[in-house]
Structure 1
Amino acid sequence: MAGIGFVLRKLTRQDNLFGLVRGFAHSALASNGPWLFTILSLGSVTLLGAQVMALEDLVEFRLIIVYNFGMSLVMSGPVLMVVTRTLADLIFDKDVVRATGVLMAAGLIMLSTQLPVAIGVYVLYADLSAPMRMAAIANFLLVSGLWLVSVYLTALKDYRAITLAFGLGMVVAALAGGLLAEPFGAVGMLFGFNAGVGLIFAMLMAKILAEYPYPPTQLRWV
């Protein structure tokens, strides 16, 4: 897909090592941002939380994160395949006006199909406290949203915004999760992790809407 690839190619062609490193680092976040975020943030939060919370709570937190990433990716896969192909065709045809509509429609489909599953798993099946159930369901939906916006990352031209979003999200997830782990245990750690994921999602969504603004439409009631 055209977009960020052309910009990153210019970085790697600079006649210095720093440009090459920057190019590969930015491209790694653009193509594998959610995976890198998971590994780095989960490792940092676990390292901080291990000092102040019980092993059972730490295991519970990690299981929820791992299962949410796995289940959300499997359930989002069919929708993401269609969105990826549709977005590529829109960019090729230079008709990106509909890109935002595709994003919103895909988001509604994923929400309507995945929310009942998340509720069924964490409310009807898993033996968790009410706050943990809320945090787990929120994490499931946030991760699914992250998969969706990641499809649009390679179509963006502002690689700095992508790197900034994931960088800030990782810091917030690690710090908030670590700070909330001591007073609230696994629940606080998961809410802190959700804060980082939510920040990444909000920043990337804002960038996508800014680059692919939807034209104003006059509503007619009759």
Structure 2
Amino acid sequence: MAGIGFQLERMVRNGGVGGFIGATLDGAVLSSGPWVLTICAVLLLQNWIVRHGIADAGTIQTVMVYAFSGSVVIASPFALVGVRVASDRMFESNPAAIPGILTLALCGATLVAVVTGHFLFGVLAGHGAALALFGTAILVLLTQISVTGPFLTAMKRPWPILLSYAAGIVGAAIIFWCLAPATPIEVLRVVAAALALTLVLLLAVFAAEFPAPSSPDQAIWEKAAPALHVGLAGLMNAFALWVDKWMLWFAADSTKPLGLLRVNPIYDQASFAGLLTLIPGLSLMLFLAETQLERAFAVLVECCTGTSKLSRIESAREDVIAAVLRSLRLLIVAQIVIATVCWVLAPEIFRVLGFDARGIFAFRFTVIGVIFHIAAIYCGVVLAYFDLFGRVVMVWTAFFIGSVAATLVVWPMGFAGYGWGYLAGALAAAVTGLALVGTASVHIVYLLFVGNNPSVVGNRRYLV
């Protein structure tokens, strides 16, 4: 994404205030556009269900919640490993291998999604074959979209992703308007059709970009094996984000609207609304923070691989540290401002959105947690630049453990304790990430030459 970030940075530099506003909007669209469109689609779907009085609306909402959470967890490792291997092939000027990589990633993710969907909607839900079929189809399609999208993003094709999402939403709106589905199964059928349209458009864009036939071979497997630690980092990230929500599906205020499947409407609404405040931070990270780090780190690598004197290498290392600190300060200050505004306006926000007022506590704790979450994400980006994915796994593992522990501690508090798990997990991840980035930045020259050099330490570098 750094190439896109440099384009946005030029908009800021050359366009003054208007350029800054335009770059911010573009950054928000590019970094979080699919997420925002997905949230908008869900809100529109809920509004339509309420306005038309669909019976058993809890069935639809439960299927969507489980499908979204399951697709994120399933797709994360396959998407990240696939993108990592595809990026290596692009660097080797071998784009013909990219279709085979996507095919393998889609096949693996689809297999896991089918098994998971059958268990969730066929066994636990216990509401017949039709719901099992369309629930599983929605989970599979969301997983395939979540795998395909990052490939296009990595190849600097973010706008086709947004257009595909928008086309799916428009297609669903047209079907809803024309056919007016009246049962949960009919609504889920329309949702599945819209997701299928989005996936077809994404694959069409990918096929136009990489017209070579898909041909998985042994070389792809050989390239994927060393990148499995990247997938583990993505998997732990997804688990860390969702674990407190999964746990609170069994809290006292949770409900069981579909067989054995449970949800917590109070916390689910508040948490998702609070997580939307990540978008400004992700935008800044894209067009300011990440580009500054990219530039400083590229200079350091050039010094280390060239004939620079030790003093010049040390100066470049200090520039990397300075870039990290500047970007981190900017991100944290921006999120503090946003969190303060959301904290104060929380009652009005909930009134406008029609959310349960008992979720205000969770919303406030979530927006505070986002401050630490954005710091943890940036630390993960820095460690990824340093190719220290073992430490990235440690960051998200700290998030996971902190979230689980805090959720258990505040469990007796009921809805007043919702959000503390996420806040504590994000804080643990931020502290862990800052400590790991600090030590890595101090020793980055050693890591480049020896400690993380594959020709010196081999595969042991994944444990650094």
Q: CA deviation at 1:122?
A: 1.3
* Corresponding residue of 2:203: 205
Q: CA deviation at 1:49?
A: 1.6
Q: CA deviation at 1:77?
A: 2.1
* Corresponding residue of 2:323: none
**SS of residue in 2 equivalent to 1:128:** coil
Structure 2, unpaired ranges of 5+? 216-464
TM-score by length of 2: 0.42
Q: CA deviation at 1:200?
A: 1.5
**Identical-residue share of aligned pairs (%):** 26
- Could you tell me which amino acid in structure 2 is paired with residue 35 of structure 1? W
- Could you tell me which amino acid in structure 1 is paired with residue 206 of structure 2? I
- Could you tell me which amino acid in structure 2 is paired with residue 190 of structure 1? L
Q: CA deviation at 1:134?
A: 1.5
State the Cα deviation string for residues 94-130 of structure 1 (Å, max 9, x = none). 3222111100011111122221221122112212233
Q: CA deviation at 1:179?
A: 5.6
Quote the Cα distance in structure 2 between the aligned partners of 1:169 and 1:18: 31
Please show how residues 1-40 of structure 1 align to structure 2 within 5 Å.
1=1, 4-5=4-5, 15=15, 23-40=23-40
2:58 equivalent to 1:59: yes
- Could you tell me which amino acid in structure 1 is paired with residue 193 of structure 2? A
Please show how residues 174-185 of structure 1 align to structure 2 within 5 Å.
174-177=173-176, 180=179, 182-185=180-183
Moved more, 185-194 or 20-29: 20-29
Quote the Cα distance in structure 2 between the aligned partners of 1:17 and 1:112: 49
**SS of residue in 2 equivalent to 1:98:** helix
What RMSD, in angstroms, separates the aligned Cα atoms of the two structures? Answer: 2.8
2:223 equivalent to 1:193: no
Q: CA deviation at 1:189?
A: 1.6
Contact kept, 8 Å, 1:45 with 1:175, in 2: the verdict is: no
Q: 1:77/1:150 Cα in 2 relative to 1: closer, same or farther (>3 Å)?
A: same
**SS of residue in 1 equivalent to 2:127:** coil
Q: 1:178/1:69 Cα in 2 relative to 1: closer, same or farther (>3 Å)?
A: farther
* Corresponding residue of 1:169: 168
- Could you tell me which amino acid in structure 2 is paired with residue 142 of structure 1? L
Contact kept, 8 Å, 1:90 with 1:96, in 2: the verdict is: yes
- Could you tell me which amino acid in structure 2 is paired with residue 102 of structure 1? I
**SS of residue in 2 equivalent to 1:117:** helix
Quote the Cα distance in structure 1 between the aligned partners of 2:37 and 2:184: 19
* Corresponding residue of 1:116: 115
Q: 1:6/1:12 Cα in 2 relative to 1: closer, same or farther (>3 Å)?
A: same
| Paired residues, number | 215
State the Cα deviation string for residues 138-181 of structure 1 (Å, max 9, x = none). 1000000111011113234455433321222222234434665x
Structure 1, unpaired ranges of 5+? 218-222
**SS of residue in 2 equivalent to 1:184:** coil
State the Cα deviation string for residues 52-97 of structure 1 (Å, max 9, x = none). 124x622211111111111121122222221121122223333222
**SS of residue in 1 equivalent to 2:183:** helix
- Could you tell me which amino acid in structure 2 is paired with residue 208 of structure 1? F
Q: 1:13/1:152 Cα in 2 relative to 1: closer, same or farther (>3 Å)?
A: farther
Quote the Cα distance in structure 2 between the aligned partners of 1:188 and 1:18: 46
Moved more, 162-171 or 203-212: 162-171
* Corresponding residue of 1:128: 127
* Corresponding residue of 2:369: none
Contact kept, 8 Å, 2:172 with 2:193, in 1: the verdict is: yes
Higher gyration radius (CA): 2
